[in-house]
Amino acid sequence: MLPLLLPAPPPVDYLLRHVRREGEMVQYQMKNKSDLVLELPGGAGDQEMGIEGDTLIIYKFGKLTSNGRKVRIVNRLKKMDMTGPAAAAAPKISEFPDIVFDGRLDSLNRLKVLPNDDLMGGSPMAQIGSSDPSNYFAFLPLPADRVGVGSTWPVVLLQAKSTIVARFESVENGIAVIRLKGKMEKEDTMPGSEGEEVPVAFRGKMISKSTADIDGTVHLDVATGVTVKADAKIAVRNQTSVGTYTVDVTGSGNSTWQRL
């Protein structure tokens, strides 16, 4: 008698969606270690700096509106150690104020960060909310269709150009492992400082151009779409110009995110 051959089980696929409720809060501990090179104008030459940070990132979810789910993002820097010649000249800061942004999440969990007037007026800190790759690991933009192991999809960002591709590597105990690889690019223009008290070289709008090459992994709860943990190697370049003054920053480092 021939053995009974059973058909192979159909492949399992998932419709990944983020489940959020008004009043919910999600927290992540982000640790990063980076080596930077600052190219300063005025003949100062290249300045090297090492940065090691420990940040608590808090996401507080609000009402669901026609423009998406409201979310407040709080970056609470707990520790930042700097080394190198450039660090020696930097001011010493013992207390770090919270950096707060409001945003919206659409149905595919794509994040749009709203301008923060308190950080505008020529401050580079105004870039953090929408250009920081951290947000895209905590809020992985999801595919519209069902996906399974081996599936890929483009990671679409609302406030940056992206060539990042996500690949569904595996799933175990309800946790999917998703690989992210590619580049994001972003350009911002902010109001500059004017007036007689401002040196001519610093008058005008501030323009910031950023790129980030990303190679990382997200561990995602397939039932809720929540990032459980993530890690990434990120190489960045930022060029900030105001008036005739330009600063170039290049660097690379490693970051980890752990849901608390």
Whole-number pLDDT of residue 40: 72
Sequence-separated (6 or more) residues with CB below 8 Å from residue 95: none
The strand ranges marked E within the chain are 13-14, 25-40, 45-65, 68-83, 99-105, 111-113, 147-148, 152-154, 161-162, 165-172, 175-190, 206-221, 227-242, 245-259
Beta-bridge mates of residue 237: 211, 250
Q: What average pLDDT is seen over the chain?
A: 83
Whole-number pLDDT of residue 19: 87
Whole-number pLDDT of residue 159: 83
> Which stretches in the chain have pLDDT values below 70?
1-11, 41-44, 89, 116-133, 191-203
Whole-number pLDDT of residue 197: 62
Interatomic CA distance for residues 74 and 77, integer angstroms: 10
Tokens standing for 210? 């950023």
Whole-number pLDDT of residue 128: 43
Whole-number pLDDT of residue 16: 93
> Is the CB of residue 134 less than 8 Å from the CB of residue 180?
no
Whole-number pLDDT of residue 83: 86
For 5-22, what is each residue's pLDDT tens digit?
666 566 689 999 988 899
Whole-number pLDDT of residue 130: 44
Whole-number pLDDT of residue 202: 61
Whole-number pLDDT of residue 117: 58
Q: Give the pTM.
A: 0.83
Whole-number pLDDT of residue 152: 97
> Is the CB of residue 217 less than 8 Å from the CB of residue 12?
no
The hierarchical CATH code for the domain 15-259 is: 2.30.230
